[in-house]
Amino acid sequence: MPTPPDEAERFLRRTTFLTAVVGQAATDVQTKELAALGLSTKAHGILTMLRQYGPLAQNELSRTMNAAASTVVTLVDGLERAGYLTRRGDPGDRRRNAVEITDSGREIAERADDLADHLEDRFLAPLTPGERDTLRTLLQRLWTPPQPR
């Protein structure tokens, strides 16, 4: 009869613990590197969503980015000050602002994409290409990002 794992071993083997630790390590690496471009991970995500989907309302960005509305407002304010996006009133709803990426926003987002690709390669270096695909597939099964309407 196998000996049950001790409490510490059991804790350290929990998938929820491992994903939290690995996720934080990935966040730390990406945060440090993107800061050199003046971006955060979520700011990069906002620019990416706007490149993909075109102008979006701030509440759509909040939902798509899985971020609090107040966080998105702060990020949009900073990205607008940097010249990476603009806000325009929606003629159909005066309470709504459409957020749109600028040409300089596209340029910085492309640079951030290249950096993120490099970081991902470096972070996942211990895994084979097949293991990387398996990890990505499993993580996508656990969380699918919402799409803008």
Q: How many CB atoms lie within 10 A of CB 49?
A: 21
What average pLDDT does the segment 117-141 reach? Answer: 95
Tell me what pLDDT residue 89 has: 81
- pLDDT tens digit string along 50-108? 999 999 999 899 998 889 999 999 999 999 999 999 998 876 777 778 999 999 999 99
Name, in order, each residue with C-beta under 8 angstroms of 135's C-beta and a sequence gap of 6 or more.
124, 127
pLDDT at 3: 61
Task: Give the other-Cβ count within 10 Å of 62's Cβ.
Answer: 20
Lookup: tokens for 24: 């934080």
Q: What is the pLDDT of residue 138?
A: 94
**Which pLDDT band holds residue 132 (cuts at 50, 70, 90)?**
very high
SS3 helix, strand, coil % of the chain, rounded to 5? 65, 10, 25
Model pLDDT, residue 117: 95
Q: What confidence tier does 147 reach under pLDDT thresholds 50, 70, 90?
A: confident
Write the CA distances from 81 to 10, 58, 105, 113, integer angstroms: 48, 16, 11, 21
